Amino acid sequence: MNWLRTILRFVVAAIVLMVIGFLVPGFQMLNFFTALIAAVVIAGISYLVELVLGDDISPYAHGVVGFIVSAMVIYVAQFLVPGMSVSIVGALLASLLIGLIDLFIPGRESFRKI
């Protein structure tokens, strides 16, 4: 059942990315498949950042540092995901919106905790 939960988290993350692509200027996603790949890539990059720099600097951290790292992860993901286009401002706005979504999702199972 754990693999089903993981798949569901990636699907929800892809839907959130599609909504962000619709709402945020400078952030473009073409379709669900692109958003799903982006969710996997963002989760992978976030995991690597956490491994290299530790928990305090990861996109999961709260505050300005976590916000900036999250924006950088989103911006870098565009170079690995075909069909994804993000400006620096778009990455910052997307990171802010994802942070706001995290405020309303209680517990450890938030969008960033893919």
Range 77-80, long-range pairs (CB < 8 A, 24+ positions): 77/38, 77/41, 77/42, 77/45, 80/41, 80/45
* Domain boundaries, given as residue ranges, for the chain: 2-104
**Higher pLDDT pick, 9 / 74:** 74
What per-residue confidence (pLDDT) applies to 63? 67
What is the pLDDT at residue 77? 92
Is residue 87's pLDDT more than 90? yes
Higher pLDDT, 112 or 57: 57
Higher pLDDT, 49 or 112: 49
Nearest-angstrom CA–CA distance, 87 and 109: 28
d(CA 8, CA 114): 10
